[in-house]
A and B are shown apart, each in its own frame.
Chain A
Amino acid sequence: MKFTLDWLKEHLDTEASADEIGKALTMIGLEVEAIESQGKALEAFVTAHIVSAEQHPNADKLRVCKVDAGTGELIDVVCGAPNARTGLKSVFAFPGTYIPGKDMTIGKGNIRGQVSNGMLCSNAELELSEDHDGIIELPEDAPVGVKYVDYAGMDGVVFDISITPNRGDATGVYGVARDLAAFGLGTLKANDFTPIPSTGPSPIAPLPHQFDADEPKAIRKFAGRYLKNIKNGPSPDWLQQRLRAVGLRPINAVVDITNLVSLGWGRPLHAYDADKVEGTMVLRNARGEAFDALDNKVYTLDESMTVIADDKGPLCLGGIMGGIRSGVTEETTNVFMECASWDPDLIAQSGRKTGIVSDARYRLERSVDPALTEPGMELATRLVLELCGGEPMEPAISGEDVFPDTRVDFPLAEVNRLTGLDVSADEIEAILGRLGFAMEGTGPVRNVKVPSWRPDVTQKADLVEEVMRMVGVDNVPVEPLPRLTHVAPRMLTTIQNRRRIARRALAARGLDEAVTWSFISHDEAARFGGGTEDRQLANAIASDMTDMRPSLLPGLIAGARRNANRGFADVALFEVGQIFLSDQPEGQHTYASGIRTGTATLDGAGRHWSGKAEAVGVWDAKADLAAVLDALGVDIEKVQVLPEAADWSHPGRGGRIALGPKVTLGWFGELHPALSAELDIEGPVAAFEIDLDAIPEPRKKATRTKPALALSPFQPVSRDFAFVMDRGVTAAAILKAARGADKALIKDVGIFDVFEGSHVGEGKKSVAIEVTLQPRERTLTDEEIDKVSSAVVAAVTKTTGGELRK
């Protein structure tokens, strides 16, 4: 909200400087967005006299003017304004002046062969109004060569403050003055709301409220007054200047008065041209009618919106904006002035539905003092009579206002309890008193009556805030928060630690951490196991952000694609974040997922003198996954690696990591070629996903002690075996069989060679294993070693159907 220092001083008797007032406003919660000198942008413009204006020889619509701008010489200026004429006093910009309305700096020029050294300006070019029909016309007696801002009296200070939604009372200059006075920055001046005697009965009857019991009803109390035989016209300079200073365009005296009261007291009004009203004026809800509003737009009004209507339809969208049909013009002679009280929530709703942003809505959706309905009408009456003359008819009032009449039992100790401030009872009483709160009683608990303009104050804490903001939050003594424990105990939960560790582990493997959107396109979601209706947004912001992601991979792949489009086809990206298996809290899991594209392997991408990087593949994905599990303390040897590819994976180059029959820890593999094409990503993609929530919580240990280390004094012995078997037999099966041959003696089984080819037979492969035996009690004899070897051969051939390679 904007207002000038002069305007504030109409309501506040103060010696404070603009700077002091600005600081105070921010301190009491009326945040200053800007303090500007009103004429700052127009400092360079001067008043000037057009000594002569002649037709441009080469252009019909241009004139060549000789301008006296007080410099002692005449300046040649080419001007296109129709009113640029000899003898006119106007406003001039020298070359080098920034023209705000055009967002350009005027230079020296030559327009169709005629020199032009400056510019004669319109109100629009100075952003004073939207009037760009011609250059500004100053009175004949205007001085020449003085700053226009000085001449026009635009030397004021403009405050722009932001008002929080609870402070409807501060949406008028008067309310701001009341707060500043309470803060101690001056004395609030009294208002004159004395009723103006009527000269006759109202030609318009009190408006009937035509609502069914179950209908939303925005109107509470409607006060109208018929002002007869007025003489409307432009409002006086002081009023025009005041409105312009805060960015409003003066229209005519009556309309300007409604704006003055709206901004000055936070009490919106609306004026109707009474002669344009047809039939009876009523209050009712709209019926889907089209409404020509004063902003020159047409709105369709629905049944939830209250309107003021006549026989022909809506005249005004109540509390928000008037209509063109009954708008007051300079020709208007009979005015019906409305000052009404509305339900803030319904005003807000209608405002949002229509999207209309108006000064009336801004105030009425916050709350307007219900005690100001009739005084506001009297204020408007007085101003119209002063500026336009006329005869006031009897007020036409209908409906009832809502007065909360809140009373709060206020223990004065609450101030200290909640803020730590020490404020005496007298001071509390004085502060609240200045803000209009009446305090009754004595002793530690007082009864406080909340003034009608503060419906936001309903309980003790609200009163504490009032006291605190007047004392100043900066004056609250800073005090350390006592510690609950001296050395902080462990603060992170298992899953919080897992996320942290997974991130560092993956980054240490050369992957970059990405943070991608939680919502993805429906197609992507459906392709990765999501896309169900419960995971869809009802009001997505974009068509590719409609569904909560069931996987981190689509976001990462999209990221890789963007990188590829920028010329970086080899990327390694991961994300540790939430995915959504349903809309329920338990459907949210944390996944650690990653992709490598092109040649972005662990060793790094691209060509290098030491050797060319290989294309990424399933082994890269499996290694990343295993590294994360390892970092999280999961023994990769103890989990099951199953040849069951994820839906997104190449069916023969992907696997699942499981823990028993029920728990899946993750997937790894190469992206299915068909999916690569669908997702428009070229080249190989190796991907993995780990469900960090699926990893079992580690068992609580009674002691931190590690089990004793049992070292054998005897050297381990190793034996190699090669088997030929069907291609489909898994390594996992071979290893399991070999390990199981003698669990006591066999310490380790490794695969050191795998090959296929015609010499091992069609559909066959050769697998060579190294079995390490660890004797514990004595050195093994040849017989013992042979016995274990036979057991290994027997177990492997039996499980795999293969045979020992001779």
Chain B
Amino acid sequence: MVGPSSHEVAGTPVTDLPLRQAQDEVLREFSMSLQTQIETLRSELSSAIAGADSEAALETVRVSALGKKGSVSALLATLGSMAPDERKTAGPAINGLKGEIAGLIETRSAELKAAALEARLAAETVDVTLPLKPAPTARGRIHPISQTIDEITAIFSDMGFSIAEGPDIETDYFNFTALNFPEGHPAREMHDTFFMKPGPDGVKKVLRTHTSPVQMRVMQKTNEKPAASYITPAMDPPIRVVMPGRTYRNDSDQTHTPMFHQVEGLVIDKSSHIGQLRWVLKEFLKAFFEVPSVTLRFRPSFFPFTEPSMEVDVQCDRSGSEVKIGEGNDWLEILGCGMVHPNVIRNAGLDPDVYQGFAWGIGIDRIAMLKYGMPDLRAFFDADQRWLEHYGFRPLDLPTLFGGLSS
């Protein structure tokens, strides 16, 4: 199987014993010559290996030395034709060379690989300080009104209130009559209320001036299903609902916009009273403003749909540029409330001597401004990207009671 050697072995053929002396001499000569060959090869190959500047060059060296036709392989092949004595010394010597060369190649190969990797890494290096584009979640914003409604929802749903809704285009009946507004009440006039042009159905319609008509829709049982799925169906007492939504008044100045947002609350059962109303409002405001305590001042007031009626001021500090709820010596009017008027309960088809309850209304935009410090209500509806970015909330700022309303 061993192929023809590429090297002729130097020396004379082996002869008989009388020539022993001569033979020994030859052998000596031969050994010397093998030794020289090995030394030469070692020196040549070592420098070739060291000089290989790439894996490919190294491979060429390897093939030239250790390949089938390689120089070391050829030397090895001469072992076959040697006398056993010769082989005894030549074998380890040549195999030693082979192992040595293989080791050098391996070492060099590792060096070259490391160098190549280093070069690649150097070439692949980038400037990691180059700025990114902001991620979509870093750019998008939730409007403060939506965030505030979510916060209100988080608090009241925990207190056992569901969220009720009604239409923005409301009938005069639900907006006024059912809520005990007498005919001729100033709120029913054009300068306060937006009226719709008369429609084909002949029903007088307005843009609701408050979220209170939802009270009536929730209380007044009918046999008909609500006209649309978003409208909360009437329910039997005990009723506990909050009703956030858009409201409209024919008013526009620094602190009023013709459209704004309110949240109405309603409790109807057989026992709820003003003491509990005070508790609900206090707990809500404490939770909403995320302060350990709030001090409220209840002032008797007047609304057609509640009796007794009250306005509520919250104690605050207005000395600085921002309003601080829960401290200070100033009062800030924040909401209206009262016991649902017996006429309203009656209009809903309930007996006011049996059923009772309370209701309140808060301006959503207003408490958002108080909590988050927006100075101008009109900017809420301007869609100014800079305003939204500044006052808006990140998409994953989810207000919860367990995680905190705001972070």
Q: Interface on A for B, CB 8 Å cutoff?
A: 26-29, 31, 164-167, 345, 348-349, 352, 416-421, 456, 459-462, 464-465, 468-469, 473-474, 476-481, 483-485, 488, 491-496, 500, 503-519, 533-542, 545, 548, 555-556, 558-560, 562-563, 566, 568, 571-573, 576-578, 580, 583-588, 590, 602-604, 608-610, 693, 697
Contact = CB atoms under 8 A, between A and B. Distances in A.
Nearest to A468: B308
Contacts of B388: 512-514
Contacts of B183: 345
B275 A477 contact: yes
A578 B142 contact: no
Contacts of A348: 184, 186
B238 interface: yes
A418 B230 contact: no
Contact of A518 (B238, B259, B280): B259
B153 A492 contact: yes
B169 A481 contact: no
A508 B339 contact: no
B172 interface: no
13 contacts: A27-B299, A485-B160, A493-B230, A504-B142, A510-B136, A512-B141, A513-B142, A534-B197, A559-B384, A566-B386, A583-B205, A585-B169, A588-B228
Interface size class of B (residues with CB under 8 A): 35 or more
A590 B137 CA distance: 24
Contact of B230 (A416, A465, A566, A693): A693
Nearest to B251: A541
Contacts of B310: 473
Contacts of A568: 385-386
B167 A559 contact: no
Given A459-B342, A476-B278, A480-B276, A510 B137 contact: yes
A179 to B, nearest CB: 10
Closest 7 CB pairs of A and B: A559-B383, A420-B275, A29-B300, A465-B308, A510-B136, A507-B140, A164-B302
Given A26-B299, A481-B280, A537-B195, 19 more contacts: A164-B302, A167-B302, A349-B184, A418-B356, A461-B308, A484-B160, A491-B162, A495-B229, A508-B395, A512-B392, A515-B146, A516-B383, A517-B381, A534-B199, A536-B196, A545-B258, A560-B383, A583-B199, A693-B228
A417 B356 contact: yes
B275 A590 contact: no
A352 to B, nearest CB: 6
A604 B135 CA distance: 8
B140 A508 contact: yes
A514 B297 CA distance: 35
B191 interface: yes
Interface string B361-403: 0000000000000000000111111101100101110100000
A505 B388 CA distance: 17
B227 A584 contact: yes
A484 B240 contact: yes
A541 B274 contact: no
A515 B282 CA distance: 29
Nearest to A32: B299
A586 B196 contact: no
Contacts of A459: 307, 342
Interface string B297-337: 11111100001111100000000000000000000000000
Contact of A481 (B272, B309, B342, B384): B272
Contacts of B228: 585-586, 588, 693
Given A348-B186, A515-B143, A518-B246, A562 B272 contact: no
A511 B163 contact: no
A537 B274 contact: no
B361 to A, nearest CB: 16
B300 A473 contact: yes
Given A419-B273, A478-B282, A492-B163, A469 B300 contact: yes
Nearest to A514: B383
Contacts of A164: 301-302
B150 A537 contact: no
B356 to A, nearest CB: 6
B72 to A, nearest CB: 48
A488 B157 CA distance: 7
Contact of B307 (A345, A462, A590): A462
Contacts of B7: none
A464 B267 CA distance: 19
Of A473, A556, A693, most buried by chain B (CB within 10 Å of CB) is: A473
Interface of B: 130, 133-137, 139-143, 145-146, 150, 153, 156-163, 165-169, 182-184, 186, 189-191, 194-201, 205, 207, 226-232, 238, 240, 246, 248, 250-252, 258-259, 267, 272-276, 278-280, 282, 297-302, 307-311, 339, 341-342, 352, 356, 380-386, 388-389, 392, 394-396, 398
A512 B140 contact: yes
A495 B273 contact: no
A479 B275 contact: yes
A536 B168 contact: no
Contacts of A590: 230
A755 B213 CA distance: 58
A589 to B, nearest CB: 8
Contact of A504 (B238, B298, B398): B398
Contacts of B143: 513-515
Contacts of B276: 420, 479-481
Contacts of B342: 459-461
B279 A478 contact: yes
B142 A352 contact: no
A164 B307 CA distance: 13
Given A418-B273, A476-B275, A491 B163 contact: yes
Given A476-B274, A538-B196, A465 B160 contact: no
B25 to A, nearest CB: 74
B259 to A, nearest CB: 6
Contacts of A610: 133
A469 B302 CA distance: 12
Contacts of B384: 559, 562-563, 566
Given A419-B273, A492-B157, A534-B200, A31 B137 contact: no
Nearest to A601: B136
A503 B146 contact: yes
B96 to A, nearest CB: 52
Given A417-B356, A465-B307, A602-B136, A345 B396 contact: no
A583 B168 CA distance: 9
Contacts of A483: 159-160
Nearest to A555: B383
B280 to A, nearest CB: 5
B274 A508 contact: no
A541 B252 contact: yes
Contacts of A31: 299, 301, 311
